[in-house]
Amino acid sequence: MKIILKSIFLFVITATFLTSCAPSDKKNNKGAISGNAAEKVYVAPGELDSHYAFISGGFSGQLSVYGLPSGRLFRVIPVFSQDAEKGYGYSEETKPMLNTSHGFVPWGDSHHPDISQTNGSVDGRWVFINENNTPRIARISLETFETEEIIEIPNSAGNHSSSFVTENSEYVVAGTRFSVPFPQRDMPISEMKGNFSGALSFLKIDQETGHMNIDFQIKMPGFSYDLSHPGRGKSHGWFFFSTYNTEEANTLMEVNASQNDKDFIAAINWKKIEEYVANGGGKMQPANYAHNTWNDDTHTATSVMKKQVLVVEPKDVPGAIYFLPTAKSPHGCDVDPTGEYIIGNGKLAASMTVHSFSKMIKAIDDKAFDGDAYGIPILKFDAINYGMLNQPGLGPLHTEFDTRGNAYTTFFISSEVVKWNVEDLKVLDRHPVYYSVGHLMIPGGNSRTPDDKYLVAMNKITKDRYLPTGPEVTQSAQLFDISGEKLDLLLDFPTIGEPHYAAGIAAEKIMPKSKKIYRLDENKHAYGVQSEAETRVVRKGKEVHIYMTMIRSHFSPDNIEGVKVGDKVFFHVTNLEQDYDVPHGISMIGANTSELLVMPGRTATFTWEPKEVGVWPFYCTDFCSALHQEMQGYVRVSPRNSKAPISYTLDGDIPGEEEE
């Protein structure tokens, strides 16, 4: 009996030991997380992250704000999509932001955030982000974290190779991923070849206001302009755009656009073209596109339709545009911090192309051409190529850099990040990611001064990495420490929409100027008021305008009568608070719109069209104070034929008529 018990005991012990030693898939998936990873990402309660990460919301159309290294989400900035939570795209003031030449578009596909720069370093003034579907670029203030401007890009489709800025924020660019007739016209799709174009747009940025204006559009051949990056340092003045579908196929693109062994990186000498147009070059052509701007004084957006755009034909500016042959369908087109190396992430190639800027300039001087495409000279591959990184992985998409001469490239198919030395063209390290990584971001990545501390990989697929939530599971970001020799995986964190790309910056460049309140005495809103004494209700035919205020913890007025069925009621609500972090919200039963969330010192407007008689309540939606539950009021709605005059009170008095 004893022996049997003993052997069973031994068996159990052995089995447990073997099982625990056996490499399970789960364990492998955690990668080689070093012992102190938790310590490196732990931001203790009350402490602050060291970096901001502005992570694109992809098909959510928004831009999210995360802290690094904690991976905590702070805010989702509404940009291209309506956001009922914040009233964005619903309030009367913000609706014009989403106006386009196609009318009001409630959704967008945001892609590549990029932070403004001064002298080749991110400066934290603005972040730009492009919209792919209805081609647009937005500018977001990093003082208010609000979208201040959206400009539509005419003659373009699939604005993907955007919205990257030059090293002094001279320009932000837009491109065309789906070449189209330029200008649009009714023609057979099959006649695409030679008849479509791909506009590359250069938007000048006003250094004071940040306002964008399309300085010129280059009418390029009808390839797909996929990604782009500016030259910097020695290559400042140039911009590089990767292309695919140089085959100009218009159907079954996955096959037909993947036939050429080499596609191009288009090198654009924008300084030369800037000079050309400054001297009267280019042709003004009719166009129709929306330019929406947010006025911070009136906190109201206006949408203006612009009717023309300056178009530049490549043949008219000889010496400004060249094609650099690059291995098969390059996706990312990345420039290292010195500006010397231009990297084509040939997503369908076995090797990555590294071009040399100095060789390119020499090749241009030597006229080392290999024919031309639609009149644009093709430079000889051998004359410009620095070298190839052979077989680094499968499906290279994007590369970012540190200041020590290393590059970090994502591989979509082999799901990994590879660290390699640019000059030596040698792979130094690789680390799996989970799974199918697209972009990666190193804070300050698109600049001369990246921060050598963190790398964020953004993954399209997560499968088993998080608790399941039905068929649709979160996409995610993975944080690496890159300060050492090895890539050190620290953290997974979920993201909103698709974390398409991101821009990062040290917290101290933004934190001190982040706005706390809007000054009430600077409120220039057409329907804003300065005090409760100015609150009132005014009837204008069938329109009723309520000039209302909110302050802890009541509305003024909070009893309104004389509204009738069929009226259109405008609630113009001013938040009188001048204290940090005291927004108030307001919502009305039966209003066919969203709530408003009004920041201290601001005014916002929603409309309500009462359909039934009765007494209808409204209330504060943002838990503002101890008496938040009491922050409410009533509107009495009378029949259409009622003679009841407008009346309004707070605590039995007409606001302003009785002073305390």
How far is Cα of residue 273 from the mean position of the Cα atoms in its chain?
27
Q: What does the DSSP 8-state code read for residue 170? A: S
Candidates 107-115, 128-136, 399-407, 578-586: pick the segment binding other proteins (CB under 8 A).
578-586
Minimal distance in Å, beta carbon 48 to other proteins?
Answer: 12
Dihedral, CA atoms, 162, 165, 171, 175, nearest 10 degrees?
-10
- Per CB under 8 A, does 579 bind other proteins? yes
Minimal distance in Å, beta carbon 579 to other proteins?
Answer: 5
Minimal distance in Å, beta carbon 46 to other proteins?
Answer: 9
Minimal distance in Å, beta carbon 211 to other proteins?
Answer: 29
Nearer to other proteins, 342 or 576 (CB): 576
Nearer to other proteins, 18 or 626 (CB): 626
- Per CB under 8 A, does 653 bind other proteins? no
Nearer to other proteins, 507 or 613 (CB): 507
Minimal distance in Å, beta carbon 630 to other proteins?
Answer: 9
In this structure, the number of other CB atoms found within 10 A of the CB of residue 485 comes to 10
The one-letter code for the residue type at 473 is V
Minimal distance in Å, beta carbon 514 to other proteins?
Answer: 14
Q: Quick one: which of 61, 77, 91 has its CA closest to 594? A: 91
Nearer to other proteins, 4 or 626 (CB): 626
Nearer to other proteins, 3 or 44 (CB): 44
- Per CB under 8 A, does 44 bind other proteins? no
Place of tokens 């490549």: 314
Per rule CB under 8 A, count of chain residues that contact other proteins: 9
Query: DSSP letter string over 401-461?
Result: E-TTSEEEEEETTTTEEEEEETTTTEEEEEEE-SS-EEEEE-TT-SSS---SSEEEEEES-
Place of tokens 């009621």: 569
Backbone region of residue 373 per phi and psi (left: phi > 0; alpha: psi in -120 to 50; beta: other values): beta
The residue from 18, 103, 626, 641 that contacts other proteins (CB under 8 A) is 626
* Stated length of the chain: 660
- Per CB under 8 A, does 578 bind other proteins? yes
Minimal distance in Å, beta carbon 578 to other proteins?
Answer: 4
Q: Are 461 and 484 in contact (CB under 8 A)?
A: no
Nearer to other proteins, 191 or 579 (CB): 579
Nearer to other proteins, 44 or 626 (CB): 626
Candidates 60-68, 195-203, 314-322, 577-585: pick the segment binding other proteins (CB under 8 A).
577-585
Candidates 237-245, 310-318, 371-379, 571-579: pick the segment binding other proteins (CB under 8 A).
571-579
Nearer to other proteins, 433 or 551 (CB): 551
Minimal distance in Å, beta carbon 586 to other proteins?
Answer: 18
CB neighbour list of residue 240: distance below 8 Å, 6 or more residues apart: 228, 229, 230, 231, 265, 266, 267, 268, 324, 333, 335, 342
Candidates 86-94, 427-435, 574-582, 634-642: pick the segment binding other proteins (CB under 8 A).
574-582
- Per CB under 8 A, does 214 bind other proteins? no
Q: Are 174 and 242 in contact (CB under 8 A)?
A: no
Place of tokens 């196609």: 102
- The CA distances from residue 652 to 63, 226, 550, 649, in Å, are 45, 64, 17, 6
Minimal distance in Å, beta carbon 532 to other proteins?
Answer: 13
Percent composition of the chain: helix, strand, coil (DSSP 3-state, to 5) = 15, 45, 45
Strand order in the sheet with 488-494: 437-441, 454-459, 476-481, 488-494
The residue from 517, 533, 565, 654 that contacts other proteins (CB under 8 A) is 517
Nearer to other proteins, 55 or 550 (CB): 550
- Per CB under 8 A, does 304 bind other proteins? no
How far is Cα of residue 194 from the mean position of the Cα atoms in its chain?
33
Which helix (H) or strand (E) segment is 586 a member of? strand 584-588
**Number of alpha carbons in the 13 Å side-chain half-sphere of residue 461:** 10
- Per CB under 8 A, does 48 bind other proteins? no
Give the residues across from 140 on adjacent strands. 127, 147
- Per CB under 8 A, does 551 bind other proteins? yes
The residue from 552, 607, 609, 642 that contacts other proteins (CB under 8 A) is 552
Nearer to other proteins, 580 or 641 (CB): 580
Structure token digits, residue 447: 């600049």
Residues near other proteins (CB under 8 A) are: 517, 551-552, 577-580, 626-627
